[in-house]
Structure 1
């Protein structure tokens, strides 16, 4: 895995595989302790990866702490991305994209990561309560201070991306260079408007949940109770808020049919379903990097296989047809540079 791409309209070089660290830490449903987290980071960097994504709210801040300790002594070889928006305290200014919260959140992330700068600082979600001009001016200030190198966003709609870029342009400030959208064979709605807007406005796509919560890895079957070690199984066991609705959204007839087709392609090629699903999404137009979130080194190694697998055109066509959804316009070609 030695393929690197530039993130959006920037000179930042990142690996096509991005190590997502939401599973790092023992708070909540994560369950990846420090020893295993270090082994995962070591294996990822050893395979040629250089891009690690975390967030201030992952495992109550443990994820950032573990990442910081895992990359100590080799910080300059790693592109660290983190995010802010979600609550990091009980107060009314302990969440969102206001200048008040973002400033405190950045300082907290720098402290947990044990670094003097963040390579890619991202808005984790849109904040309807804060003017976008305030948010973009604050982020521009972070860049000018040297504490942040580039800025991005996560889960913004097409219109929100345009608003953010226009706000930066009007102020002569720093534009966004990345978006984190959900994208996989079972979640393709971003193809309609969001990915085209990203390309027009200079944002690379750093996609999350490429395995559809494990559905495309073949972890679930129709009518079967989710494995207790699977992410859905752990969330259901803990009665986590929204877990049942999330499970129902992922485990329906359409998604399981798509997963079955992925499994057939995998069997024909002699590879895993996860490798097939990752190979499909990493070559989609507009996709720069793909977030994988292993809890073990074995899972990491299995996922990395998807970044060296080239799917035959006829199998790509089969997967496209099987995963089709209403409202999508066909997208062809490969664009891995964002």
Structure 2
């Protein structure tokens, strides 16, 4: 696996992060360990989790992913081999209230997030470190941008835990461009630590006209990050839960609704053409495309629930997109 610099920190990480969200709940411990070991063997080191994963799973209250990683990290040498990222601010304060017929209602959940007040940040990192069994994390994200807490309060608390050695770098997730610029201005004004990464939903398909969600990296965010390469784009859902290969996942699928339209249909056709030419899957083409982006540079997160999904993503690292394929992908759509 190739390596890429995180922002302009001088720190390099594997070009793909492994999403650990479902480890310890939907993905059992033996399978999780197998994926983690194989990821390291393939040259990967960037692990992504959060303190709330996976609160929506039956019988879970969150924290299971960090706990599983803590057990795995305790094995000889594993902590020294990884770049570890977790998050704060996405814990749901009343899980039963956020479940409707046993499934997460994200509209309700959004009103129940713990926020990013100073006490939440300080308690959150200490609890995460206990579950992970480590004395620091390498990257600590604000999981959900909290508009009700002054940014100064959140940034000062984050700066404090960096100075205390509990966190090496900070990032922000699900954030709008104007907020990211405000965060950077405040950090510069007060000498606080600034984000070196933003984690947003991003894929080869482009959001449909009129779709404006804080969690999706739209044209303005992409332009901003292309002009400010001290902040890396860490892309979650780079294959949009597999819709490049499975038409059934497009019909009525929640994630597809943000992309449905003629532009996406044209882009899916282009992906299908490239996949056919190369003898690979559409999902692998979408991942290979993400790895070729330079403005901004993209670090995709491969969130794999099963061993079969893990095996399917690895070949994308070796997919060679020629000039003609990159041109076809670039020109597809409106």
TM > 0.5:
yes
**Structure 1 residue 247, shift from structure 2 partner:** 4.8
One of 271, 278, 286 as aligned partner of 1:262: 271
State the superposition RMSD in angstroms. Answer: 2.4
Deviations 1:238-293 (A, max 9, x none): xxxxxxx5453356565344323312211111112121111111111212411001
Is it true that 1:86 corresponds to 2:90 in the alignment? yes
Deviations 1:126-171 (A, max 9, x none): 1111111111111110100000000011121111111111111111
One of 31, 39, 48 as aligned partner of 2:34: 39
Question: TM-score normalised to the size of structure 1?
Answer: 0.82
Alignment: residue pair count: 300
Q: For residues 294 and 170 of structure 1, what CA distance do their matches in structure 2 show?
A: 40
Is it true that 1:197 corresponds to 2:224 in the alignment? yes
| Structure 2 residue runs without a partner (length 5+) | 55-61, 96-110, 208-215
| Structure having greater relative contact order (Cα 8 Å, sep ≥ 6) | 1
Name the counterpart of 1:112.
Answer: 131
Q: For residues 250 and 203 of structure 2, what CA distance do their matches in structure 1 show?
A: 22
Is it true that 1:220 corresponds to 2:247 in the alignment? yes
**Using a 3 Å threshold, how does the CA distance of structure 1 residues 52 and 251 change in structure 2: closer, same or farther?**
same
| Structure 1 residue runs without a partner (length 5+) | 226-231, 233-244, 325-338
Deviations 1:28-70 (A, max 9, x none): xxx2111111101011011000100001111111111112222
Q: For residues 82 and 235 of structure 2, what CA distance do their matches in structure 1 show?
A: 19
Q: For residues 201 and 170 of structure 2, what CA distance do their matches in structure 1 show?
A: 18
Name the counterpart of 1:242.
Answer: none
Contact 2:206/2:259 (8 A) holds in 1: no
Q: For residues 50 and 95 of structure 1, what CA distance do their matches in structure 2 show?
A: 29
**Structure 1 residue 88, shift from structure 2 partner:** 4.6
Question: TM-score normalised to the size of structure 2?
Answer: 0.83
Name the counterpart of 1:6.
Answer: 5
Q: For residues 170 and 247 of structure 2, what CA distance do their matches in structure 1 show?
A: 36
**Using a 3 Å threshold, how does the CA distance of structure 1 residues 96 and 306 change in structure 2: closer, same or farther?**
same
SS at match of 1:156: coil
Q: For residues 94 and 248 of structure 1, what CA distance do their matches in structure 2 show?
A: 24
**Using a 3 Å threshold, how does the CA distance of structure 1 residues 101 and 303 change in structure 2: closer, same or farther?**
same
**Using a 3 Å threshold, how does the CA distance of structure 1 residues 200 and 222 change in structure 2: closer, same or farther?**
closer
SS at match of 2:175: coil
Q: For residues 246 and 321 of structure 2, what CA distance do their matches in structure 1 show?
A: 21
Q: For residues 248 and 90 of structure 1, what CA distance do their matches in structure 2 show?
A: 28
**Structure 1 residue 93, shift from structure 2 partner:** 9.8
